[in-house]
Homo-oligomer: A and B are copies of this chain.
């Protein structure tokens, strides 16, 4: 659908690599039967799964656990009108394994809102990964 030669579709590996370069993404969940979007701190584990860092007891963690979630991140340059955007769909589940939880407490993503409160982690196992990069006006995929 993107006939503009400034738009480049990205493969899954490249999408995950780009996700590793930003600390914050946006998770889509359902609240009161409406889609809601909230920024969250995250990281990409070596196995390609996403780990979201949340405050314990947040409505978000309850809303996500056991669902198929959508997660989006981007890095955009409004001046050059370039950048990238990646979208991941996958099953979300609270990290309940105690050893894994303790490991993430030490080295996992710190919630955007921490405030000294208890933390929890949601893991998203990517099933669909898509993304696109927008080149700056001077660039083109199809060079003469």
Contact = CB atoms under 8 A, between A and B. Distances in A.
Nearest to A127: B34
What interface size band does chain A fall in?
A: 35 or more
Interface string A103-139: 0000000001111010000000000100000100000
Interface of A: 1-7, 23-24, 26, 28, 34-39, 55, 58-59, 68, 70, 72, 74, 76, 78, 81, 83, 85, 87, 89, 112-115, 117, 128, 134
11 contacts: A1-B59, A4-B55, A4-B113, A5-B115, A28-B35, A34-B68, A34-B128, A36-B70, A37-B37, A37-B70, A38-B87
Given A37-B72, A81-B114, 15 more contacts: A2-B113, A4-B115, A6-B113, A24-B76, A24-B78, A26-B37, A26-B72, A28-B35, A28-B37, A34-B89, A35-B70, A36-B70, A37-B37, A37-B70, A39-B85
